[in-house]
Every structure is written in C-alpha cells, then in structure tokens.
Homo-oligomer: A and B are copies of this chain.
Amino acid sequence: MQETETAGGWLTRDELRDARDRVPILYVNLVPVRVDERSQVTRIGVLLRASQEGDVGTIAHELVSGRVLYHERLRDAVLRHIERDLGPMALPQVPIAPQPFAIAEYFPTPGVTPFHDPRQHAVALAYVVVVMGDCAPQGDSLNLAWLTPAEAAALAATPDMAGGHGVLLRQALAHLGHAV
C-alpha cells in the first residue's frame, strides 16, 4: 500500500480499502523522458520493480504510477511520484497544462478496458514528464532503464508490462509522434 506510506500513513490501510470499495481512485501515470536540445525525446524511463498488481513476488516493467492524495494538486502528485521513484535529483519538468495525453481506466474486472488493477477501480491521468537531472531508482524499484523510443515500443509490445502499462507507453510514443 505504497501510496499510503508515501502519504505519511495518515490514511490507514482499512480506510483506503473502504474508499477503494466505494469510489474510483484517482491516479497519475507518468512517462519519464529525456530530450535533446530541440525537445525531441531520446530516452524513455521504465522501472523494473516489484509488481503493483498485488501478486507479491513478481517483477514487471512499469511506468511511474501513484495515487493522488486528498487535497493534493495534480502537479504536486506528479512531482511527488517522480521523486519517489526516480529520486530527489531527477529535476522533473511538470507539464505546464493539466490536460493529460491519455486517460487510463483500470478496472478490477479484466477485459473491461485494456487496463487492469485487481485492487481497485482506478482512473489515471497520464503525462509525459521531462527529467533533466540524475535519476536513481528508489523504494521498491529494482532498476531504471532508459530506452530509446524504438526499444520502448518493442518492450511495450511484450507481456512484460502488465496491467496495461504497455498500452499506455505505446499511447505516449504515438502522442510524441514516434512510430509505434
């Protein structure tokens, strides 16, 4: 229940479980990228981490993802989750406009959408976030891979990105104008 701990534990596991049984939970899904001097994306950051899918012990390639807290601005949630997963020196550039490049609807029931989260009904606002600084995987992240757009497209086509993160990564590449 990572986000809860990130939130300083002010929301107990029971309280969050109650909310998850009642309303859709708001998330941000983030695609960290590095760009050249003309803002062309050169690398996409993908986490190798303990799966957030709930089945402890599995490893999966994932995007940066996390819950939006009560009374938290979206742009603060973006900063918090990037720093949680990429470290305090990542120097992320939060998007200047709040419109996401995609909306991912995660349902506990598989097959309703391309996105699946057995824990809950979550709706994620997806953003591409340029990071300018040094990134070091934090917390339960085992590794951070910086892939070329072509490598990212190849990874996204495999089952290694669970829960729909592969679909979302391809949506990000398409949004950025890359062949996917």
Contacts of A114 in B (CB 8 A): 177-179
Please give the residue numbers on chain A whose beta carbons come within 8 Å of chain B beta carbons, in ascending order: 11, 15-16, 18-19, 21-26, 33, 35, 38-41, 67-76, 79, 93-103, 105, 107-109, 112-114, 121, 123, 125, 128, 130, 167, 170-171, 173-180
Contacts of A100 in B (CB 8 A): 99-100, 103
**Alpha-carbon separation in the docked complex, A68 to B9 (Å):** 26
How often does this chain occur in the complex, in copies? 4
A33 to chain B, nearest CB (A): 7
29 residue pairs of the A-B complex, CB under 8 angstroms, read A15-B22, A16-B22, A19-B23, A24-B69, A24-B72, A35-B96, A38-B79, A39-B95, A40-B75, A41-B96, A71-B108, A71-B109, A73-B105, A73-B112, A73-B113, A96-B130, A98-B102, A98-B103, A98-B105, A99-B101, A99-B103, A103-B177, A113-B177, A114-B177, A167-B180, A170-B179, A170-B180, A173-B174, A174-B175
Contacts of A11 in B (CB 8 A): 22-23
Whether A76 lies near B180 (C-beta < 8 A) is no
**Alpha-carbon separation in the docked complex, A136 to B59 (Å):** 51
